[in-house]
Amino acid sequence: KKSGPEIAKELACVIKKPSFIKSINIAGPYINFFVNYEKLAKNLLQKIYAEKGSYGKQNIGKNKTIVMDISSPNIAKPLGIGHLRSTVIGGSLYKIYKALGYKTISINHLGDWGTQFGKLIYAYKNWGNLKDLRKNPIKHLLFLYVKFHQEVKDNPKLDDLAREEFQKLENNDKKNLEMWKEFRRLSLEEFDKIYKILKIRFDSYNGEAFYVSKLEKALEVLKKKTETKMSEGALIVDLDDYGMPPFFAIKSNGTSSYHLRDLAAALYRFDQYKPEKLLYVVGIDQKLHFEQLFKVLDLMGMNKNRFVHVDFGMFAFKDGKMSTREGKTIALEEVLDESIKLSKKILEEKKSQIKNIDDTAKKIGIGAVIFNDLSTDRIRNVIFDWSKMLSFDGDSSVYLQYTYVRCCSILEKAKKEQKLSPEINVGFEYKSKEEIALIKQLSLFQEMIIKSAETYKPSYLANYLIDLAKVFNEFYNNCRVLSGTEKEMKNKVLLVFCVSQVIKNGLALLGIETVDKM
């Protein structure tokens, strides 16, 4: 309840002046900081130059662990575009937290258990065959799944038969277990193709099935610490007081639930990794599921601030193209293929002289899909608009990759024509407003990494990079790098080098590669 000027005065006294601040003065309720740009540039550019690919790394996460549940597709179903969002957002958060010094554990919580496997096993026994399964596993499994749902309409008894098959599976029936293993193995092989393209690795593939042996213990703890009750044959935790439907531990047919498996997983992960935070990178459509789960964990006495549902919106196509027959799931592979094809076409239209056009098109195409996702605030729906995604001068990864290429060619030219390479014994006298703006923008990189981590939003970093490229292109258009005195040229060459390094490191944190030529 103090006045503005009073607060300003007090603050100004306690703020520790960083070396690049010349002076601090108070003007009424404002505190003004006067920057010594020579000092700032020197500290900053020397650090970037010295650390190169490691620039951005910090140690605020030292001795802390972050566990993240990412990707987590369902066995026997195609990897959907929602799983792409989880993989891409989670993959980037993984890199961001690692850069901040955290120990990071990524878990692919595969949907490899549940009543649907009873249906699948029933369907396979009746209508499936090994040849089709091996040839195109997901296609065949999807066919069986759809077929089951068609047949059950005329013959409701099938539901009981499927449940029996699942119960047999839960009781370790040898034949059913073998079938399930094969479905899982073959599906995972398909998923891995995409993970390879996206260069995503997981520290663990412990999916829902992994926790089956841990359900009994979880149930025991649940019963001890909360008030469970039977309701219409199911074991539940009533969450009425919190305005939520009940948490189902055991379903009325006696089988375990998705809820219970997640509860067992949470307990196991805490025990195993002792994480600072446990992130669930899962679409917003599962918001209620996680609210219920976290509430129950809270009732069990776990610190609820450690659990975070990193939720995200869905996808929409601007031109209506590429929607699939089933409507709901859009096959990821199609999207990536399309993006790579379009990138190649663009390179060809631009009469690109590069030799490795396929490789470059791949980096551009995959980068565009990733960046389109990550530059959107994750809560919002991602719009698929190819012309925007692959634009050389819009808010796209191509724009960033292109800016990086521009930096590389300036550096190459400097070396060839002026025998100048970036080095740090320069003067650091940056005077033009474009140079100053660029230094200011560069100085925000480390902070943006922290901000992205704190909010679980790589979009801050993505949009920061776009701003950096814009400021750089202002500079490029107005200040000729290879003109002026040798000292001035050296200063500018170092600046260009640092911009290229920050773009490269920033893109790497998003999971996107740069190319040297386009």
Binding site for ligand ARG (CB under 6 A): 69, 72-74, 109, 111, 262, 280, 282
Contact (CB, 8 A) for 441 and 467? yes
The DSSP result for 147-192, as a single string, is: HHHHHHHH-THHHHHHHHHHHHHHTT-HHHHHHHHHHHHHHHHHHH
Determine whether 305 is exposed, middle or buried from the number of CB atoms within 10 Å of its CB (0-12, 13-18, 19+): exposed
Determine how β-strand 65-69 pairs with β-strand 277-281.
parallel
Find the shortest distance in angstroms from Cβ 118 to ligand ARG: 17
Find the shortest distance in angstroms from Cβ 75 to ligand ARG: 9
CA-derived radius of gyration, the chain? 27
38 to 32, 305, 423, 424, 480: CA distances (angstroms): 18, 43, 16, 13, 20
Identity of the residue, 73 or 458, whose beta carbon is nearer to ligand ARG in the bound complex: 73
| Dist CA 402 CA 386 (whole Å) | 17
| Dist CA 492 CA 475 (whole Å) | 10
Q: Which residue is nearest to ligand ARG (CB)?
A: 111
Identity of the residue, 262 or 488, whose beta carbon is nearer to ligand ARG in the bound complex: 262
Identity of the residue, 22 or 77, whose beta carbon is nearer to ligand ARG in the bound complex: 77
Find the shortest distance in angstroms from Cβ 111 to ligand ARG: 3
Token pair belonging to 268 = 């196991």
The DSSP result for 461-473, as a single string, is: HHHHHHHHHHHHH
Identity of the residue, 92 or 463, whose beta carbon is nearer to ligand ARG in the bound complex: 92
Find the shortest distance in angstroms from Cβ 513 to ligand ARG: 28
| Dist CA 155 CA 162 (whole Å) | 12
Find the shortest distance in angstroms from Cβ 130 to ligand ARG: 26
Unique residue bearing structure tokens 């307990």:
267
Find the shortest distance in angstroms from Cβ 152 to ligand ARG: 22
Identity of the residue, 211 or 497, whose beta carbon is nearer to ligand ARG in the bound complex: 211
Identity of the residue, 72 or 228, whose beta carbon is nearer to ligand ARG in the bound complex: 72
Identity of the residue, 86 or 360, whose beta carbon is nearer to ligand ARG in the bound complex: 86
Identity of the residue, 170 or 262, whose beta carbon is nearer to ligand ARG in the bound complex: 262
Identity of the residue, 209 or 465, whose beta carbon is nearer to ligand ARG in the bound complex: 209
Identity of the residue, 48 or 76, whose beta carbon is nearer to ligand ARG in the bound complex: 76
Sheet strands side by side (includes 234-237): 228-231, 234-237, 247-250
DSSP state of 47: H
Contacts of 317 (CB under 8 A, 6+ apart): 323, 383, 384, 385
Token pair belonging to 225 = 């610490």
| Dist CA 26 CA 14 (whole Å) | 13
Contacts of 4 (CB under 8 A, 6+ apart): 28, 29
- Degrees (nearest 5) of the Cα angle 272, 114, 285? 80
